[in-house]
A and B are shown apart, each in its own frame.
Chain A
Amino acid sequence: MVTAGIEAATEPSSLHLREVCKTFRRADGAEVVALDRLTLDVAEGEMIALIGPSGCGKSTLLRMIAGLDRPTSGSLRVGSQPIDGPGAERGLMFQDPSLFPWKTVRRNIETGPAARGVLRSHRGEVDEYLRLTGLEPFADSYPHQLSGGMAQRAALARALINHPKVLLLDEPLGALDQFTRMRMQDEVVRIWRARRTTTVLVTHDIDEALYMCDRIVVMTPRPGRIERVMDVTLERPRHRNDPRFLELRAEILEMLHFAGDEPAEAEGVAS
C-alpha cells in the first residue's frame, strides 16, 4: 500500500484511452455496442467535458476509467499505469447520488477519508465542504430527508473531499436549480484550479461545458464514438456574458445541429 502510494505520487495523472470498445450482452442475448474504438488523451490537470446524446456511453466510459468495469477491448491508462480496478486516486461521482441511506450527510461525506483511515486529520475539511455545498443545516439528516439537489450536492462533496488525482463527474449538477448550479460550477472550478485535478465532466449543458472546461468532447449516438473535440480557449476566470463566450456557444450549437444526420443527437444535447 505504502509503495503504491509513493508510485502514484510520482506517476502523472494524465489519462490515455486507446481504441476502447465496450459491448454489453442484454438478457435476450442481443449485443449492445455502447462504445466503439474510442481514443482520447486528457492531459494532467486538464478539465474536459463529455457531451453527447443520452445512451451514447458516457457513464459507461467513466465507470471504466474508475476501474469498476473492464473494456471489451482496448486499453485505459493513468500515466503509464494500466487501469486495473477501482481506487481512491480515481474518484467517481455517479449520475445517481447513491448516498448511503444509513449514514447522515456528514457521515456520507466522511466516507472516503474514513475508508482510507485518515478521517481524524480531515474533520475540519468535512465542515468546509458542508458549508461549501450549503448542507450545514442538514449535516445530521439522513438521505431520505433530502431533496434531489441536496443529495447531489452531498455526493459531490463526498467525491471532492477525497482529493482524487483523477476526478470523474457524471452530470454532477443536473438536479440543481439555475442559481445553485452556477454557484456550484464556480466552486468546482475554484477547487480544480487550486488542485489541478485531471477532471472529466459529463454534462448535457453546453454553457456548463463552456464555462468550466478546457476542451469539449462531443460524442456520437450509439455506438459511442468521438464526433469532435473543441478547444475552449477563453482565459479564466470566465464570464458568462462575455461576447466571445456567447459566440463560441452559438458556434457549438450550430455545429451540433449540423454535426450528425440523426436528429436524436441534437435533441439529446440541447437541454
Chain B
Amino acid sequence: MTLATQLAETKAISPGRADRGAAERRRGLSSPAWALAPAGAAALGLALHLALPDRQPSAALRPFTGLLAAMLAGSLAMAALGRTSGRPGAWARHRSPLAAGIVLTLVAWDLLTLKLAWLPLPYFPGPDRVLGAMWEDREALALSAYHSLRLLACGYAAGAAAGLACGVLIGWSKSARYWGMPLLKVIGPIPATAYVPLAMVMFPNAFISGVALIGLAVWFPVTMLTSSGVADVPAAYLDVARTLGAGRAHLIFRVAVPAALPSVFLGLFMGLGAAFLTLIVAETLGVSSGLGWYLKWKQGYLEYAHVYAALAIMSLFFSGLMTLLFKARDRALVWQKGVIRW
C-alpha cells in the first residue's frame, strides 16, 4: 500500500466513546457523590413519606410507598452497576444525576400534595392517588391504550404510505407536480382536525373515519418533504447513474429516494407529531374508545387521578414511538453521520 493510503487510513478513524467519559469527569457529573444521589433522594423521600402525616386521603394500597422502595432498590443497584467498567457501568454513571432528579421531582410532588396539601384537590392529586388510579383502572387503561395504538398504527401507516407514494410521484414527475402541487397547497395547510365533523359522517364507522383523519394529517407533511427531497436530488448523482446505465426505476428508487431520505424522515417525524394530535382530538370528538376518550370521560367525573394516569401512559406511549422512529432513522442514515454507531 502506498504512503498516501496509509496516511488516509488514520484519517478514517473517528474519536471513540472513551472521550465522552473524560468530558464528563471534567464536568464533575460522574463523581462518586452523584453515584449515590438517586439512592439518597429515594431514602429521603421514603423517610418523609412514612414519617409525615397525610393531609389528604390516600389510595387504598399506598402504591407510592412501594414505588419509593422500588426506586431505592433500583438506585442502589444502579450505584453498584456504576462501579463496574464497560458500557452498562458507564451508562449508570452517566444517568445517575438524571435518576436523582426524577426521584426528587416525585418526592416533591408527594410533599406538595399528600403531605402538605398545598395543591388543591381534585385537580392536583398526588403520585399516590395517580398510581392508585392506574392500578385500580388498569383494564380500562390497557384497553384504551390498545385502541389508541391500533388506530394510530393504521392511520399512520396509511398516511405514510400514501405520502411516500405521492411525494415520489410529485417530486419526480413534472406533470404530477403540475397537478399535485396546487391540490397539496389547498388541502395540506388545513389541520386534519378541522375535518372531524365531516369525517364522522362520511365514513361508515368511527374507526375508519379516525384512520382517514390521522392518515390525512400524516399524508401532508410526508408528501411535502418527500417530494421536495426527491426534486432536490443533486443532478450529479442522477448523471452518474445515467452514464452507468441506470434506467428510470433505478434512478427513482435507487438514487432519488435514498438521496431524499433525510428529508423523508423529517416528513415522517412531522407526520408522527400530527398523528398524535389528530388521534387525541379524534378520540375526544368522535371515536368512543382510546386514551383521548378515556381522558375526557374521566375529566367529566372530575377524576383527575385517572386523567393524570392516562396522560402518563400517553407520554410513555408517544415518546416510545418517537424513540422508535429515531432509531429507524439512525439506522437508515448511518451514511450521513460523522461517526457510525453500532
Interface residues of A (CB under 8 A from B): 63, 66-68, 85-88, 90-92, 94, 96, 98, 100-104, 111-112, 114-116, 134, 137-138, 141-147, 149-150, 158-159, 162, 176-177, 179-180, 183
Contact = CB atoms under 8 A, between A and B. Distances in A.
B339 to A, nearest CB: 10
Interface stretch (B20-28, B107-115, B251-259, B281-289): B251-259
Contacts of A101: 259, 335-336
B2 A115 contact: no
Contacts, number: 108
A183 B9 CA distance: 19
B12 A141 contact: yes
Given A88-B243, A103-B335, A180-B5, 16 more contacts: A92-B239, A92-B243, A98-B236, A98-B239, A100-B240, A102-B259, A102-B261, A103-B258, A115-B241, A115-B245, A115-B247, A134-B2, A147-B7, A158-B244, A177-B2, A179-B2
Given A94-B236, A102-B261, A86 B242 contact: yes
11 contacts: A67-B243, A86-B242, A87-B242, A88-B245, A102-B259, A142-B334, A145-B14, A158-B244, A179-B2, A179-B4, A183-B2
Interface residues of B, number: 34
Interface SS of chain B: helix
A198 to B, nearest CB: 15
B3 interface: yes
Contacts of B14: 145
Interface of B: 1-5, 7-9, 11-12, 14, 236-237, 239-247, 250, 254-255, 258-259, 261, 333-336, 338, 340
B243 A91 contact: yes
Nearest to A66: B243
Nearest to B5: A134
A146 B8 contact: yes
Contacts of A142: 334-335, 340
B245 A116 contact: yes
Contacts of B244: 88, 91, 111-112, 115-116, 158-159, 162
A144 B335 contact: yes
Given A112-B244, A177-B4, A180-B5, A96 B335 contact: no
